[in-house]
A = this chain, B = another copy of it.
């Protein structure tokens, strides 16, 4: 079933069918209507491979994330896909499972499909993998300041989030603020740790080594880190964590240790995942606006394919979502 058969049945040329298919204006309305009816009647569906081969563009974007099982990503994917669909662009999607080798093969496969652009929304990237993409395919990265020279970027200004968090805690009278960091091998975790420390200094709050614990970014890690922090004397009256999963773990550890949240200790997470509003007490969390990140990435790619102009990389700002895991500092 191809355009020839439609043409024959409609008694026009393939060129005319093609014009109708692509909404060209230089077709008599009567012809167009007739062709459309034949198309419908025959249940004809054009072959995208032939079109892409001919046109050189595929009307397709690649989207790569670290880990679809990480609740951070589904909403990002959703938003990206919605925007793409709106523009008649399909999304071919893969994830790397945090494996740099896989990033490389992901990009390669997308290049083979000659996608028109690739959004690499992983927390880690490496030059070797990015090199798989020829220069004419635009790439956009998520918060990778180190690569802005060669690629588009969606920068995330973590500091805004920490500033809001510390303001919030300070307004409740907290001064003794601990941090549960992620492994320093993860660049995003490292960055969050640094930004927290900088924000603390800016607010002239004491940064004590022993009030910084490290977890594995998972619930259990948060639990253990919190146990450690809560066994100290003096111990922090508030704890900020590097992600929500560890915050949930910290919450459970605190409750388990007989401490009230937020009466004895306040907890702030990072990411604002759906889980944040499902635990009791609901978690105050620094929200990374996932839909906004997706939107910026998408429009950056779209611009690149449309007119080749490099978008100004507008910065995305996290913001604090206040719920019930934060409250006044306990009297000493």
Contact = CB atoms under 8 A, between A and B. Distances in A.
Interface in A39-65: 43, 45-50, 52-53, 58
A248 interface: yes
Interface string A112-148: 1110000000000000000000100000000000000
A164 to B, nearest CB: 25
Contacts of A112: 45-48
- Copies of this chain present in the complex amount to 2
B280 A278 contact: no
B109 A90 contact: yes
Interface string A71-85: 101110110010001
What band does the interface of chain A fall in when counting residues whose beta carbon is under 8 Å from B? 35 or more
Contact of A78 (B58, B68, B108, B113): B68
Interface string A82-100: 0001000011111100000
Given A48-B49, A49-B114, 5 more contacts: A48-B114, A90-B94, A93-B93, A252-B280, A275-B278
30 contacts: A45-B134, A47-B53, A47-B112, A47-B114, A48-B49, A48-B113, A48-B114, A49-B58, A49-B114, A68-B74, A68-B77, A71-B71, A71-B274, A73-B74, A74-B74, A78-B95, A81-B94, A81-B95, A85-B94, A90-B92, A90-B109, A90-B113, A91-B92, A91-B93, A92-B93, A93-B93, A255-B280, A275-B275, A275-B278, A278-B278
Interface of A: 1, 43, 45-50, 52-53, 58, 68-69, 71, 73-75, 77-78, 81, 85, 90-95, 108-109, 111-114, 134, 219, 248, 252, 255, 274-275, 278-280
